[in-house]
């Protein structure tokens, strides 16, 4: 028998009607009871917490990260499934992937419809996640949803309410689940994992600021003044803003703030094409381009870099390593 541990964190898959709307309510055993188990798989449940995922904090996510590492310390565990709310699933999954150094698979799943819904998607998603965790290796952290398997890196929620809710808009599908089998279509490229971070008493503040027509540096400067140690600038197009924002980025970097540059466009990489406030100037001012990673995951990469070291130059190096698909050097190696 293959032993899979399910870590329950709440979300729609564990939600019931609360009188005015749905909220996470069921424990992990109740969630597991809704789904058939793949043949030859036994399940153990860890009830970590039960919240709607927009309420997750960095402390929640770091607790989840440490719990996964503790579970994998048992060599008899075949894999892990994390049941999670869909709103911030992409962030938690990517955080775990950045620090995942074990060949065994960790699979995130959830649902768009709450427990007990007619034709609900939770049981099928959970079955697929259990099968994927039990039968795949060397793929890092994955997301199983609507019969599809995605790499954590780059995968975002692309549909607010539709059942096929996740995709990587910039890459091909990683795999599919059907007829009791997981078919892997490609192998994700992953950098060398970062070391497991300490649990800080007060996690570093990392803010996101989006550019738009008439956008100025007010919000970016306000983040710096509020004590942000990291900022994700969400540019237009291939990662563009204005000369005023370039100046604000340069000033923030000079104060030791780690700035990452992404784009509000759904697919394609941040690219240094334009000047006059474009990505050419923003990168020259010290912003680190995030490739095809979008805002939520770019923020997680910044957070991980800040947790890895207190030295600003080293933080930028760790961030670039986390964003790469090559072989960065481990902190402390």
Q: How far apart are CA 24 and CA 96, in angstroms?
A: 22
Pick the catalytic residue from 9, 12, 132, 236.
12
**Under 8 Å CB-to-CB from 129, ≥6 apart: which residues?**
81, 107, 108, 109, 144
| Active-site annotation holds for 12 | yes
Q: Classify each residue of 270-293 as buried b or exposed e, where b means 16 or more C-beta atoms within 10 Å of its C-beta.
A: bbbebeebbbbbbbebbbbbbbbb
- 291 close to 270: Cβ distance less than 8 angstroms: yes
Count the Cβ atoms, other than its own, within 10 Å of residue 269. 15
Query: Which of 142, 119, 110 lies closest to 8, judged by CA?
Result: 110
DSSP SS3 for 323 = helix
**Under 8 Å CB-to-CB from 267, ≥6 apart: which residues?**
169, 170, 292
Q: CA torsion, points 99, 130, 137, 47, in degrees to nearest 10? A: 30
Q: How far apart are CA 229 and CA 22, in angstroms?
A: 35
**Under 8 Å CB-to-CB from 314, ≥6 apart: which residues?**
308, 331
Query: Which of 267, 244, 260, 265 lies closest to 298, judged by CA?
Result: 260
DSSP state, 137? B
Read off φ and ψ for residue 179, nearest 5 degrees: 55, 40
Count the Cβ atoms, other than its own, within 10 Å of residue 136. 19
Query: Which of 315, 322, 318, 321 lies closest to 252, judged by CA?
Result: 315
Give the Å distances, CA to CA, from 21 to 52, 180, 258, 282: 12, 35, 39, 43
**Residues classed as catalytic:** 12
């Amino acid at each position: 028998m293959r032993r899979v541990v399910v870590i329950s964190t709440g979300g729609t898959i564990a939600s019931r009607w609360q009188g005015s709307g749905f909220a996470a309510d069921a424990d992990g055993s109740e969630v597991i009871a809704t789904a058939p188990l793949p043949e030859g798989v036994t399940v153990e449940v860890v009830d970590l917490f039960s919240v709607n995922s927009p309420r997750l904090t960095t402390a929640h996510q770091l607790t989840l990260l440490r719990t996964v590492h503790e579970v994998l310390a048992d060599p008899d565990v075949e894999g892990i499934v994390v049941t999670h709310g869909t709103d911030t699933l992409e962030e938690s999954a990517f955080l775990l992937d950045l620090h995942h150094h074990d060949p065994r698979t960790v699979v995130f799943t959830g649902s768009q419809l709450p427990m007990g819904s007619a034709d609900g998607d939770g049981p099928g998603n959970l079955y697929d996640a259990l099968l994927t965790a039990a039968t795949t290796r060397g793929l890092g952290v994955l997301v199983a949803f609507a019969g599809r398997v995605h790499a954590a890196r780059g995968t975002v929620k692309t549909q607010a309410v539709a059942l096929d809710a996740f995709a990587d808009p910039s890459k091909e599908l990683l795999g599919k689940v059907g007829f009791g089998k997981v078919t892997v279509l490609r192998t994700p490229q992953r950098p060398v994992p970062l070391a497991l971070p300490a649990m800080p008493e007060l996690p570093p503040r990392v803010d996101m600021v989006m550019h738009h027509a008439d956008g100025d540096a007010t919000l970016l400067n306000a983040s710096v003044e509020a004590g942000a140690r990291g900022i994700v600038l969400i540019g237009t197009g291939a990662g563009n803003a204005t000369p005023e924002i370039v100046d604000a980025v340069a000033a923030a970097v000079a104060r030791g703030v780690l700035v990452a540059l992404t784009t509000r466009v759904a697919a394609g990489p941040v690219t240094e094409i334009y000047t006059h406030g474009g990505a050419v100037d923003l990168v020259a001012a010290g912003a680190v381009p995030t490739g095809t990673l979008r805002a939520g995951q770019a923020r997680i990469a910044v957070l991980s870099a800040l947790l890895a070291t207190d030295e600003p130059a080293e933080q930028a190096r760790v961030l670039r390593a986390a964003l790469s698909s090559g072989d960065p050097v481990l902190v402390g190696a």
